[in-house]
Amino acid sequence: MQSIRNIAIIAHVDHGKTTLVDKILHTCNLFRDNEETGDLILDNNDLERERGITIVSKNVAVNYKGVKINIIDTPGHADFGGEVERVLKMADGVLLLVDAFEGPMPQTRFVTQKALSLGLKPILVINKVDKENCRPEEVHEAVFELFFNLEATEEQLDFQTIYGSSKQGWMSTDWRQPTTDLTPLLDLILEEIPPVPVKEGTLQMQITSLDYSSFVGRIAVGRVARGVIRENMPVSLVKKDGKIVKSRIKELYTFDGLGKLRVQEVKGGDICAVVGVEGFEIGDTIADFEKPEALPGIKIDEPTMNMLFTINNSPFFGKEGKYVTSRHLRDRLFKETEKNLALRVEESDSPDSLLVYGRGILHLSVLIETMRREGYELQVGQPQVIVKEIDGVKCEPVESLIVDVPAESAGKVIELVTQRKGEMKVMEPKGDLQHLEFEIPSRGIIGLRNAVLTATAGEAIMAHRFKSYEPLRGEIPQRLSGVLISMDKGSATAYRIDKLQDRGRFFVSPGDEVYEGMIIGENSRDNDMVVNITEGKQLTNFRTTSKDDAAKIAPAVKFSLEEALEYVQNDEYVEVTPHSMRLRKIVLKETDRKRKN
């Protein structure tokens, strides 16, 4: 039987996981010499390529010196922590990738803690040692300290370290002596990561992720914990609640390179994809037909934030989208919960809207962006954090926030964070930057990134992760300025925008269609103001000698989806359609808003 190693690659966002997997694939001669592959081969959906981040974890397999290595690439953002938590169950060891300058970051800590608690064997890869002002020795010390603080075992603390640059495609045991390829890393994996343990007993396989094919439907992916699984074999599916459903396996695939290979049987320890089992969920166990034994379920951290998703009922509804009814919206959201474990959907008091719970704004905005590309129209309300009652005290989620910023802007950042009830814990120099650590309520982080980037001229690097639930910290100031609201339906004119420019900054350009109650700009004062932006210039046949001055208009402010979600208040919606994104008041008519207040 061929020897197998299962490893997951974990790291903070942007430390080079997906690039490293690319280079491993090339080292193991997975492609012909003349084949065009491009970069970031595994980030294969449009959203991942545009944002340059991994959202969904993926499997590939390579053969090296006769050993099969299953590699799992995981996301680095804590918002997609649910992805990481479930796939670590398939691995026996982890490659912890750390940037040689930044060192271990908050999300590194989050995934490392999960990996160590599962008893996985770590290998430390210090990446990007070709960068200027890198500090590999200090980073090595910092990781050792991190492992110690996370209560790693003696064996885990005795980890091996390898240095290199995944972009340049080399790894070496000494960072001052570059090699030419990645073989030192692959050799280390074979030495250090334990071979798959062979357990005696009947079949057990936990489903840890799912794939979908338009031909055969849903495909279960997981690792065979013990026993052997064969094509056409009768099996039992053990659900989370203990219910047992009898089923039969139609087709079996193992991972081979970037694709799948159809096989007759898969032995314990390998990762495989199963076709033919109906009605499964992630965390269920495929077990023996006669004596089924379940594996312990997958525990996922609770969501910390929720948002109201509702149908688009603005005057412009149905102009761009294919799916606009509440039935479409409901079906799509409940379908998403099957594969997105950290997401929860609940009914609200109105039949047209649903409450969606997730890990953070990025987690929910990726879902909204995916839906709008599929042709859905919807509106979303302001993100709300989930408040729990613990021992009779109201508690809210608190996060650890790390900001690296040039020294001259540090004061502004500290002021912004403390206004939002953040407490400073650490302030120390790190290279030519100041390294600041805070504890701040999740409510305070909503809308903070924009303010910090504006105050530091875009030079701040921010990262945050959920820490724990703590007692409520009181009122947090929201948006400081009011908004400009359109009075009428029609097209925005350059003449009116020009005349109103000293009132604030605009989100629309001349010629954009607007409707009554739509938010078209930010007021320079703290109250909301209704303005007429659609009126043209009155033309008379009475000529004067003075010519018209040409209108000089500042360019409109354009929000990304996350920025828009952070900007809106609780009486406003973000309207999202396949081609446009608008901000609006929930109550469109001014008289109705006044009556409500």
Domains of the chain are 4-192 (3.40.50.300), 204-287 (2.40.30.10), 305-370 (3.30.70.870), 388-471 (3.30.70.240), 483-540+548-596 (2.40.50.250)
Q: What residues does 485 pair with on adjacent strands?
A: 519, 530
Q: What residues does 223 pair with on adjacent strands?
A: 206, 271
Q: Which residue has the higher pLDDT, 540 or 554?
A: 554
Q: How far apart (Å, rounded) are the C-alpha atoms in residues 283 and 297? A: 5
Q: What is residue 338's three-state secondary structure? A: helix
Q: How many residues are given for the chain? A: 597
Kindly give, in sequence order, each residue whose CB lies less than 8 Å from that of residue 126, ignoring residues fewer than 6 positions away: 98, 100, 136, 139, 140, 161, 162, 163, 164, 175
CB 77 within 8 A of CB 106: no
Q: How far apart (Å, rounded) are the C-alpha atoms in residues 535 and 495? A: 8
Whether 33 shows a pLDDT value over 60: the answer reads no
Nearest alpha carbon to residue 532 among 484, 577, 472, 569: 484
Kindly give, in sequence order, each residue whose CB lies less than 8 Å from that of residue 72, ignoring residues fewer than 6 positions away: 6, 7, 8, 9, 57, 58, 59, 87, 90, 91
Pairing relationship of beta strands 121-127 and 160-165 according to DSSP bridges: parallel
Q: How far apart (Å, rounded) are the C-alpha atoms in residues 253 and 256? A: 9
User: Which whole number is the average pLDDT over 132-156?
Assistant: 85
Kindly give, in sequence order, each residue whose CB lies less than 8 Å from that of residue 403, ignoring residues fewer than 6 positions away: 413, 417, 436, 438, 452, 460, 461, 462
Vertex 442, ends 438 and 446: CA angle to 5°? 105
Task: Indicate the pTM of the whole model.
Answer: 0.76
Whether 18 shows a pLDDT value over 90: the answer reads no
Q: In the structure, what pLDDT confidence band is assigned to residue 350 with cuts at 50, 70 and 90?
A: confident
Whether 40 shows a pLDDT value over 80: the answer reads no
Whether 580 shows a pLDDT value over 80: the answer reads yes
Per-residue pLDDT, 37: 45
Tokens (6 digits) for 410: 């540090």
Q: How far apart (Å, rounded) are the C-alpha atoms in residues 572 and 11? A: 37
Question: 238-264, pLDDT tens digit by residue?
Answer: 888 888 889 889 989 888 877 788 889
Kindly give, in sequence order, each residue whose CB lies less than 8 Å from that of residue 56, ignoring residues fewer than 6 positions away: 45, 48, 75, 80, 83
Per-residue pLDDT, 519: 93
Q: Write out the binding residues for GTP.
A: 14-19, 127-130
Average pLDDT, rounded, for the chain: 82
- Other CB atoms within 10 A of residue 120 CB: 23
Per-residue pLDDT, 36: 45
What string of H, E and C letters represents the secondary structure of 424-447? EEEEEEECCEEEEEEEEEHHHHCC
Q: What residues does 388 pair with on adjacent strands?
A: 395
Question: 369-394, pLDDT tens digit by residue?
Answer: 889 989 999 999 988 888 888 888 88
Nearest alpha carbon to residue 300 among 440, 110, 15, 146: 110
Question: 67-126, pLDDT tens digit by residue?
Answer: 888 888 777 666 666 667 777 888 888 888 888 888 877 667 777 888 888 888 888 888
Question: 310-336, pLDDT tens digit by residue?
Answer: 999 999 888 888 988 989 999 999 888
Percentage with pLDDT > 70 across the chain: 90
Beta strands of 87-169 (E only): which ranges? 93-99, 121-127, 160-165
Q: In the structure, what pLDDT confidence band is assigned to residue 49 with cuts at 50, 70 and 90?
A: low
Q: Which residue has the higher pLDDT, 179 or 229?
A: 229
Q: In the structure, what pLDDT confidence band is assigned to residue 31 with cuts at 50, 70 and 90?
A: very low
Q: Write out the binding residues.
A: 14-19, 127-130
Per-residue pLDDT, 544: 52
Q: In the structure, what pLDDT confidence band is assigned to residue 338 with cuts at 50, 70 and 90?
A: confident
Q: How far apart (Å, rounded) are the C-alpha atoms in residues 512 and 517? A: 15
User: Which whole number is the average pLDDT over 449-472?
Assistant: 82
Q: What is the DSSP letter of 547?
A: P
DSSP-assigned letters across all residues of 57-103 = -EEEEEEETTEEEEEEE---SGGGHHHHHHHGGG-SEEEEEEETTT-
Whether 157 shows a pLDDT value over 80: the answer reads yes
Whether 498 shows a pLDDT value over 60: the answer reads yes
Per-residue pLDDT, 577: 92
CB 128 within 8 A of CB 167: yes
DSSP-assigned letters across all residues of 205-260 = EEEEEEEEETTTEEEEEEEEEESEEETT-EEEEE-TTS-EEEEE--EEEEEEBTEE
Least confident of 289-303, 493-507, 524-538: 289-303
Q: In the structure, what pLDDT confidence band is assigned to residue 35 with cuts at 50, 70 and 90?
A: very low
Per-residue pLDDT, 582: 92
CB 514 within 8 A of CB 560: no
**Helices 448-455 and 410-419, interaxial angle, to 10°?**
160
Q: In the structure, what pLDDT confidence band is assigned to residue 545 with cuts at 50, 70 and 90?
A: very low
Per-residue pLDDT, 309: 92
Q: In the structure, what pLDDT confidence band is assigned to residue 38 with cuts at 50, 70 and 90?
A: very low
Q: Which residue has the higher pLDDT, 18 or 159?
A: 159
Per-residue pLDDT, 32: 43
User: Which whole number is the average pLDDT over 209-225?
Assistant: 81
